[in-house]
Structure 1
C-alpha cells in the first residue's frame, strides 16, 4: 500500500514516475544505458543480476518484475528463485555464479568486499568492464529496492507479468515514453 496519499493505495512504480516525471526521466535513461546498452553481459544477464539483488534484498516488487524480464530474455524459469535460495546449488551458469556471488556480497556486506571477490569474477572469464557493469547494476537495484520499499509500492502477479513483459519488449526507453500518460 503506497505511503504517498496523493496517489491511489495500490500505486505502481509507473504511477510514481508519472507523478514525479523529472527525476524519473533521468533514472529511466540511466536504466536504459546500463541494462540495454553495450556491455559484456547480455540484457538477460543484466536483468538476472537486477532480479538477484532484489531477491537478496527481499524486494518482491523488483524481484518479481525483473525475474519475468530476465525469463523473457531466456533465463530459464525457476533459476532466479533457486539462486536466491542457494546460489551454490542453483542451476546458474558457472561463469555467472561468481558475478552473482559478488553482487550478493556487495548487497549484504558492502564494506567487506575484497580483491579476492573481484579476482573470482576475473577467474570466471569476465573483464574489468564486466565487473564495473555488475557493480552498477547492483548499486542501481539496491537504490530501486529502497525506493520501492520506502514508498510502499507493491504489485500483484498480473501487474508483475505485464510490467516484466513491457520491459523486455520496450526497454526502459519505452517505459519513459509512458511518463506523459
Structure 2
C-alpha cells in the first residue's frame, strides 16, 4: 500500500500509474518528458532507449519501472526479452553493439552520480559511434529514470511480483505512447 492515499485501486493502477492519476498537474510534464526521451525522433530506436530506462531502473532496484520498461523494450527490440535479460544481468556480456554497451556504461555512471560520467566514458561512446545527441539523451534518460524510480519507490507504490503484470501496458505504449491514457 502506498504511503499516501492515491484515491485509486492500486491493483488496477500500480507503480507510477496511480501517482499520475493522483496528481495530473505533474503527470502531464512527466509523461511529455518520457514521450520525447523514449519515443521522439531519434537515431536510437525506441527499444534501445527503453533498454536504457530498464537497465537504470534495474540498477536502482525499482521493481515497477524495471519490469514495465523491460517489457516495453522487449516488445520493440528484434532480440526481444532475451536481450533485455542479458543486459539487465550483465551488459558487458550481452549481445549488444559496442555503441550500446558504451552508452549503458554512461547511463550506469549517471545513475550512481552524474559526476561519475568521465571524459573517458564519453570518449569511449564516441569511439563506438555515439553522437553527441545520443550521449546527451542517454544521460538525460538515466537521470530522469533515477528520478522516476525514486518517485515510485519513495511513495511505496504497488509493484507486482508477476512479470506478466508488466505486459498490460505494452500495446498502448508501443502503439500510442506515453501521452495516451490507460484504459479504465
The TM-score, its normalising length taken from structure 1, stands at: 0.89
Q: Render the CA deviation track for 1:29-56: whole Å, top value 9, x for unaligned.
A: 1111121112221111110110011011
Q: Output the CA distance in 1 between the equivalents of 2:153 and 2:131.
A: 33
Of the two structures, which has the highest relative contact order with CA contacts closer than 8 Å and spacing of 6 or more?
1
Q: Output the CA distance in 2 between the equivalents of 1:114 and 1:34.
A: 22
Q: Render the CA deviation track for 1:134-166: whole Å, top value 9, x for unaligned.
A: 111111101100001001123323431102332
Change (3 A) 1:105 1:19: same
User: Which runs of structure 2 are paired with 1:2-21 in the superposition (5 Å)?
Assistant: 2-7=2-7, 8=9, 10=11, 11-12=13-14, 13-21=16-24
The SS at the match of 1:65 is helix
Is the 1:39–1:133 Cα contact (8 Å) retained in structure 2? no
The SS at the match of 1:121 is helix
Aligned to 1:141: 145
Q: Deviation of residue 178 (structure 1)?
A: 4.4
Change (3 A) 1:178 1:88: closer
Where has structure 1 moved over 6 Å in runs of 4 or more?
Answer: none
Q: Output the CA distance in 1 between the equivalents of 2:2 and 2:68.
A: 18
The count of residues paired between Structure 1 and Structure 2 equals 178
Q: Deviation of residue 130 (structure 1)?
A: 0.8
The TM-score, its normalising length taken from structure 2, stands at: 0.88
Say yes or no: does 1:165 pair with 2:168. no
Which 5+ residue runs of structure 2 have no aligned equivalent?
Answer: none
Which 5+ residue runs of structure 1 have no aligned equivalent?
Answer: none
Q: Deviation of residue 3 (structure 1)?
A: 1.2
Q: Output the CA distance in 1 between the equivalents of 2:3 and 2:170.
A: 23
Q: Output the CA distance in 2 between the equivalents of 1:60 and 1:78.
A: 18
The SS at the match of 1:41 is coil
Aligned to 1:76: 80
